[in-house]
Amino acid sequence: MDPLKKAGGRWSGAGSPDTIGRMNGISERALGEQALVRRLNDRLGFGPVPGDLTAGVDATVRRLLGPATDAAAAAVPPPTGLEAPAKAKDGKEGKKGGQEAKKAANRQRAAQERKLTIWWLDRMVVSRTAGERLTWFWHGHFATSNQKVRNAAWMLAQNQTHRRHALGRFGDLAEAVIVDTAMIRWLDGQRNRKGSPNENLAREFLELFTLGIGHYQEADVAQGARCLTGWVLRDQGAMFQRKRFDSGTKTILGETGDFDAKEFARLALAQPASAAFVIGRLWFRLVSATPPDSATVARLTTAYGAERDIRSLLMAMVGEAGFKDPAASLVKQPVEWTVGLLRALRLRPGKLEEKEQAKLLAGLRGMGQLPYRPPSVGGWPAGASWLTTSAGLTRLQLAQQLAKIADLSIVDNARDRAGAAGALLGVDGWSDRTRAALTGVKDPAHLIAVAACAPEYVVSA
For the stretch 249-285, pLDDT in tens is 999 999 999 999 999 999 999 999 999 999 999 999 9
Strand spans (E) along 315-392: 330-331
Confidence check: pLDDT of 171 > 90: yes
Of all residues in the chain, what percent carry a pLDDT higher than 90?
Answer: 89
Report the alpha-carbon distance of residue 94 to residue 106 in Å, rounded. 19
Alpha carbon separation from 419 to 50, 394, 428 (Å, rounded): 14, 25, 9
Q: Is the pLDDT of residue 7 over 50?
A: no
Q: Using an 8 Å Cβ cutoff, are 428 and 35 in contact?
A: yes
User: In whole angstroms, how far apart are CA 308 and each of 45, 169, 203, 311, 356?
Assistant: 21, 5, 22, 9, 42
Pick from 134, 459, 430, 427: which is nearest to 328 by CA? 459
Per-residue confidence band for 1, with pLDDT thresholds at 50, 70 and 90: very low
Q: Which residues pair with 250 in a beta bridge?
A: 257
pLDDT of residue 86: 85
Q: Rounded CA gap, 22 and 86, in Å? A: 56
Residue 319 has pLDDT above 50, yes or no: yes
Instruction: Give pLDDT tens digits for 386-398.
Output: 999 999 999 999 9
Stretch 146-171: mean pLDDT: 98
For 194-214, the pLDDT digits (tens) are 999 999 999 999 999 999 999
Q: Is 221 helix (H, G, I), strand (E, B) or coil?
A: helix
CA 406/CA 412 separation, integer angstroms: 12
Give the span between the Cα atoms of 194 and 239, in whole angstroms: 15
Residue 18 has pLDDT above 90, yes or no: no
Separation of alpha carbons 282 and 311, rounded Å: 12
Say how far apart CA 437 and CA 122 lie, in whole Å: 32
Averaged pLDDT score across all residues of the chain: 92
Specify burial of residue 449 (Cβ count, 10 A radius: 0-12, 13-18, 19+).
buried
* Euclidean distance between CA atoms 363 and 359, whole angstroms: 6
Selection from 144, 189, 139 nearest residue 377 by Cα: 144
Strands (DSSP E) contained in 253-302 are: 255-257
Q: Which amino acid is at 209?
A: F
Cα dihedral 361, 366, 367, 372 in deg (nearest 10) = 50
Query: What are the backbone angles phi and psi of residue 127, rounded to the nearest 5°?
Result: -60, 145
- Residue 443 to residue 393: CA distance in whole angstroms: 19
For residue 5, pLDDT over 50 is answered with no
Write down the pLDDT at residue 405: 97
Closest to 24 (Cα-Cα) out of 71, 66, 55: 66
Indicate the burial class of 30 (C-beta count within 10 angstroms; 0-12, 13-18, 19 or more): middle
* Contact (CB, 8 A) for 285 and 332: no
Write phi, then psi, for 290 (nearest 5 degrees): -85, 120
239: left (phi over 0), alpha (psi -120 to 50) or beta: beta
Rg (CA), the chain: 23
Which residues touch 429 (CB under 8 Å, ≥6 apart)?
422, 456
The C-alpha atoms of residue 218 and residue 216 are separated, in whole angstroms, by 7
| Digit-coded pLDDT (tens) for 118-128 | 999 999 999 99
The DSSP 8-state label assigned to residue 376 in this structure reads S
* 92 confidence band (pLDDT: 50, 70, 90): low
Distance of CA 80 to the CA centre of its chain: 22
pLDDT at residue 2, as a whole number: 30
**Among candidates 371, 403, 405, 459, which has minimal Cα distance to 124?**
371
* pLDDT of 4 over the 50 cut: no
68 vs 50: CA distance, rounded Å: 21
Cα separation of 37 and 43, whole Å?
10
| Cβ proximity of 262 and 175 under 8 Å | yes
Residue 90 banded pLDDT, cuts 50, 70, 90: low
Closest by CA position to 450, among listed 424, 429, 421, 426: 421
Q: How far apart are the first and last CA of the chain?
A: 19
Q: Give the whole-angstrom CA distance, residue 269 versus residue 171.
A: 7
